[in-house]
Amino acid sequence: MSPEPIADLVPVILAGGSGTRLWPASRARLPKHLVDLFGAHSLLQTTAQRITALAPQGRLLTVAAAGQAALVRRQLESLAPGLARHLVLEPEARNTAAAVALAALYVAEVWGPETLLWVCPSDHLVTAPQPLYAAVASGAVAARAGRLVTFGITPTRAETGYGYIRAGAPLAAAPGVLEAASFVEKPALDRAEAMLADGGYAWNSGMFLLRASTILDEMQAHAPAILRAVRAAMGPIAAGTTVLDPDAFAVVPAEPIDKAVMERSSKVAVVPCAPGWSDVGSWHAIWEIEDRDAAGNALGGDARVVGGRGNLVRAESRLVALAGVDDLAVIETADAVMVARREDSEAVKLLVGGLVAEGRAEAIRHRHEPMSWGVLTRLVERPGYALRERLIDPGAVVELEAEACAGVSWTVVDGTLELGAADDGAKDITAGAGIAAETGAAHRLANRGSAPLRLLELQLG
């Protein structure tokens, strides 16, 4: 059953996370919200589908990292044309307070200051959206009355990795909505167990419902430096976006919205709900979500476990077999294999930090990498040569600068390549034929056909 749209609502997706605890599936150039972790769609796409169901058509604002712009736009537009129309790109990450300020200023200008923003992270999973829709409908009453509404997830265990909200008295004018008495940082286990037994606490979901004018007033009161710096960085709003000045945005204080405003404001309310929510913040969290066999093993791809219990195994490109081991996360991709204790997400984060410090490409990019024009697969990279496959979408064009074409030749496997160079006209190269790049020239690889174009690209030197 489809929910009734809320006329004054604009859903806002915050899509700037890195997801290092889910390496090697999540990497800097393709972080977890852009990865297909649970089937055909990414977390960004499932978030967009879920939250736009509550809003009038054409209302979605996405605040994303500039370096991920092409992929964010590609994934949203694949769901519905125009879904990426309102896209604001951050030159660098300045945490969620800056992103919420950007969104509120944008929404106030485009749709009006009384508009409600439903702010949602791009990388969370909700398996039962109907209770969430009901919570938003209840929270909208309080938000229109000037409250900053949060959504508290009914806890199912004594979780130490989440923040909590302590609920206060009910709001008489908004049934189902409670005062937010306090926020609790990630607690120790004994404190988490006590809060679970108390029953008056909820997990902090990171989702918010607030009127644009209210959050701007509260930021002016509690985080004026952030609001002032974001205003200074924003350009005029036109053609569905605003261009941020990189230098001005770099000096925006980096602080989460919880600490900058929510923990200081007297206007915060909470709506408890149980929508099957997970922040998908670790391999352990994914193990909890996945279907498991009788021994508690969650297996994906060509994976086998004998004599072991409680393992998460994901195999992307080959057989992965475990024997006689328990409670491991084993994640295999085309260029990396990660083995860790399933619940030790901090060790994975430290591992990735070390790989970044070493300059390892595996920390940044995938061997099989979606691009704005299609998919790039790095088949072999050895001293002196590299072999890549380019799968170019129908109608797409790849622009390569002269430096990237040095020592390069292409062989067409499927389709017809329209190859253009700086000092020559376009040439059509058909399947089975090859051509070398012109020395010192930029090149354009175009697919004018109706089917994907597959190229093998060899680079020497």
The pLDDT, as a whole number, for residue 1 is 67
Statement to judge: residues 341 and 424 lie in one domain: no
Got the DSSP string for 130-167? Answer: HHHHHHHHHHHHHHHTT-EEEEEEPPSS--SSS-EEEE
Sign of CA dihedral 73, 79, 80, 83: negative
Tell me how far apart the terminal alpha carbons of the chain are, to the nearest angstrom: 59
Statement to judge: residues 213 and 321 lie in one domain: no
Statement to judge: residues 212 and 305 lie in one domain: no
The pLDDT, as a whole number, for residue 55 is 96
What is the number of domains present in the chain?
A: 3
Question: For residue 438, what is the domain's CATH number?
Answer: 2.60.120.10
- CA angle, 424 as apex, 419 and 427 as ends, to 5°? 30
Q: Quickly count: other Cβ atoms within 10 Å of residue 52's Cβ.
A: 21
The pLDDT, as a whole number, for residue 262 is 94
Domain range enclosing 408 = 371-460
Could you report the average pLDDT of every consecutive run of 10 residues in the chain (461 residues)? 90 88 91 89 96 95 92 93 95 96 97 98 95 96 97 89 91 93 89 90 94 98 98 91 95 96 95 94 93 97 97 96 98 95 93 95 89 90 94 94 93 95 79 92 93 96 85
Question: For residue 267, what is the domain's CATH number?
Answer: 3.90.550.10
Statement to judge: residues 309 and 435 lie in one domain: no
Statement to judge: residues 227 and 302 lie in one domain: no
Give phi and psi for 339, each to the nearest 5. -125, 125
- Residue 3 in any domain: the answer is no
Statement to judge: residues 317 and 404 lie in one domain: no
pTM for the structure as a whole: 0.89
Statement to judge: residues 233 and 382 lie in one domain: no
Got the DSSP string for 205-273? Answer: EEEEEEEHHHHHHHHHHH-HHHHHHHHHHEEEEETTEEEEPHHHHHTS----HIIIIITT-S-EEEEEE
Strand 125-126, strand 277-278: pairing? antiparallel
Helix (H, G, I), strand (E, B) or coil at 71: helix
- d(Cα 260, Cα 253) in Å, to the nearest integer? 10
Statement to judge: residues 64 and 122 lie in one domain: yes
- Residue 91 in any domain: the answer is yes
- d(Cα 181, Cα 198) in Å, to the nearest integer? 14
Statement to judge: residues 316 and 273 lie in one domain: no
Statement to judge: residues 320 and 449 lie in one domain: no
- Residue 1 in any domain: the answer is no
Q: Which of 217, 244, 278 is the last residue of a domain?
A: 278
- Residue 455 in any domain: the answer is yes
Statement to judge: residues 332 and 443 lie in one domain: no
Closest CA to 361 of 389, 333, 341, 340: 333
- d(Cα 89, Cα 74) in Å, to the nearest integer? 14
Cβ atoms of 108 and 115 closer than 8 Å: yes
The pLDDT, as a whole number, for residue 423 is 58
Q: Give residues with Cβ within 8 angstroms of 285, minimum separation 6.
A: 278, 279
- Residue 122 in any domain: the answer is yes
Statement to judge: residues 230 and 375 lie in one domain: no
- Residue 79 in any domain: the answer is yes
303: left (phi over 0), alpha (psi -120 to 50) or beta: beta
